[in-house]
Amino acid sequence: MNKIKGFFEKLLEQADIRINGDRPWDIQVHNERLYRRILAQGSMGLGESYMEGWWDSAAIDQMIDRAFKTKIDKKILFNWHILLSYLSSNLFNLQSGRRSYEVGKRHYDVGNDLYQKMLDKRMCYSCGYWKDANSLDEAQEAKLDLICRKLGLQPGMRVLDIGSGWGSFLKFAADKYGIEGVGLTISKEQASWSSQLVKDLPIEIRLQDYNHLNEKFDRVVSIGMFEHVGYKNYKKFMEVVYRNLSSSGLQMLHTIGSSITKKITDPWIEKYIFPNSMLPSIAQIGKAIEKKFVMEDWHNFGVDYDKTLMAWYKNFIQSWPEIKDKYGERFKRMWTFYLLISAGAFRSRGIQLWQIVLSKDGVPGGYQSLR
């Protein structure tokens, strides 16, 4: 055991992280079996052991940022959880058919009360745009308006929102820009909430997968949904959008992206947070849009997701006394770990947030990029 602990101490030193140190990003170990567990199970062991109270850190986000920047996570031995994820992603289409609804049931349907406490007043569950914003509400409204302006929305346009969440974008676009449209979601809770939100607007919310849609729209937007499509379905997704988009229409893809092409997601995230999910790379998106779309604009503001996640975490912790009896301590630790490791990953620039504008045949005279 002492040799294994010594290995971790030397590994963590590279990121200036100490075991039982007194700085916020240091790790406090409560169970010495932690080291063997991480060696055997990798990120799954790290996450599950935190959920079980085996270790703590006052600033997990800072710890993860340091670990990712020095790439010490790459030096932990390959384990069977990663092997299983790799085999599953290659042998099966994890995002097809009934599987596509699993993330709705297990993540987005977990409870509207949780998301009301954690998110902004509009219930936007994607990265805010903090360029000129001083609060989460301002950042989310700025993001919605930025998308509307990038799409050049005009009164009367028909807009499709694939993965419409709690209806924030469609309501904003209808109120501010006079559009009409359709929102698709695979979450029953989101469908119920957003249907009530837009009941007095020319907006229809459908509990429906995108694959079987066959009708025309002036604009198509997808905000934080492409992460659930899966690499085997990227081409099909683009084919569906192409089929449903008018000849002069624009598509906006707002997605988290990976700097490295992968075919699997983190095993702990897969099991506890986003089942059947994965982050696309530039290469994978490029291959999917080839021969279909012209890439008009590619905007990266991934650093803003760090601020967004930390704002969500602050809201979550402040509101915890009001919802703790429903969710319990294990859920609190799971959700804390999810939010803070995500913030650390964006801060270290290992993952990105992209807004991509696509046209069918190119915008006549050229597209004017907006920031």
- Dihedrals phi, psi of 318, to nearest 5 degrees: -65, -35
DSSP conformation letters of 305-367 = HHHHHHHHHHHHHHHHHHHHHHHHHHHHHHHHHHHHHHHHHHHTTSEEEEEEEEESS--TT--
Query: Is residue 328 in some structural domain?
Result: yes
**Amino acid 88: pLDDT:** 46
E strands, the chain, are 28-29, 55-56, 158-162, 180-185, 203-207, 217-223, 245-258, 294-300, 351-359
Q: Do 69 and 141 share a structural domain?
A: no
Residues 27-35 have a mean pLDDT of 96
**Residues 72, 103 within the same domain:** no
Q: Are residues 288 and 238 in the same domain?
A: yes
- Contact between 232 and 194 under an 8 Å Cβ cutoff? The reply is no
Q: Which of 186, 228, 232 is nearest to 209 (CA)?
A: 186
Instruction: Read off the pTM.
Output: 0.91
Residue 137, domain CATH: 3.40.50.150
pLDDT computed for residue 27 by the predictor: 97
pLDDT tier, 100 (very low <50, low <70, confident <90, very high otherwise): low
The reply to whether 257 falls in a domain is yes
Number of CB atoms found within 10 A of residue 58's CB = 13
Same structural domain for residues 113 and 256? yes
Q: Are 332 and 320 in contact (CB under 8 A)?
A: yes
β-bridge pairing 245-258 and 217-223: parallel
Q: Are 277 and 170 found together in one domain?
A: yes
| Largest Cα span, the chain | 69
Average pLDDT over residues 4-22: 94
| Band of residue 83 on the pLDDT scale cut at 50, 70, 90 | very low
Asked if the structure places residue 89 within a domain, the reply is no
Residues 191 and 339 in one domain: yes
72 in the same domain as 12: yes
Residues forming beta bridges with residue 221, ordered by sequence position: 161, 252
Which of 77, 109, 139 is the C-terminal boundary of a domain?
Answer: 77
Q: What is the pLDDT of residue 102?
A: 66
Q: Are 131 and 88 in contact (CB under 8 A)?
A: no
pLDDT tens, 241-274?
Answer: 999 999 999 999 999 999 999 888 899 999 999 8
The answer as to whether 300 is a domain residue is yes
Question: Of 46, 77, 108, which one is at a domain's C-terminal end?
Answer: 77
Residues 180, 222 within the same domain: yes
In a domain, 24, yes or no: yes
Higher-confidence residue of 75 and 337: namely 337
List CB contacts of 69: < 8 A, sequence separation 6 or more.
15, 348
- Residue 95: is its pLDDT beyond 80? no
Q: What is the pLDDT of residues 163-220, one digit of tens each?
A: 999 999 999 999 999 999 999 999 999 999 999 999 999 999 999 999 989 999 999 9
Question: Three-class SS of residue 281?
Answer: strand
Instruction: Collapse the DSSP code of 85 into the 3-class scheme (helix H, G, I; strand E, B; otherwise coil) and give the result.
Output: helix
| pLDDT at 296 (0 to 100) | 98
In a domain, 364, yes or no: no
pLDDT at 82 (0 to 100): 41
pLDDT in tens, 315-336: 999 999 999 999 999 999 999 9
Encoded tokens for 32: 């010495």
Do 209 and 62 fall within a single domain? no
Nearest one of 183, 132, 110 to 119, comparing CA atoms: 110
Containing domain of residue 192, as a range?
99-359
Count of domains for the chain: 2
pLDDT digits (tens, 9 = 90+) for 121-170: 999 999 999 999 999 999 999 999 999 999 999 999 999 999 999 999 99
Is the same domain home to 160 and 227?
yes
Question: Which of 11, 52, 15, 59 lies closest to 34 in space, CA to CA?
Answer: 52
The pLDDT of residue 101 is above 60: no
Mean pLDDT (the chain) is 92
The answer to whether residues 230 and 133 belong to one domain is: yes
Last residue of a domain, one of 21, 47, 77: 77
165 and 276 assigned to the same domain:
yes
Whether residue 47 lies inside any domain: the answer is yes
Residue closest to 159 by CA, chosen among 199, 198, 100, 204: 204
Q: Classify residue 92: in a domain, yes or no.
A: no
* Each residue's pLDDT tens digit, 288-318: 999 999 999 999 999 999 999 999 999 999 9
Supply the pLDDT for residue 110: 80
Lowest pLDDT segment from 17-26, 75-84, 135-144, 192-201: 75-84
The pLDDT confidence band at residue 97, using thresholds 50, 70 and 90, is: low
Tokens of 144: 């919605």
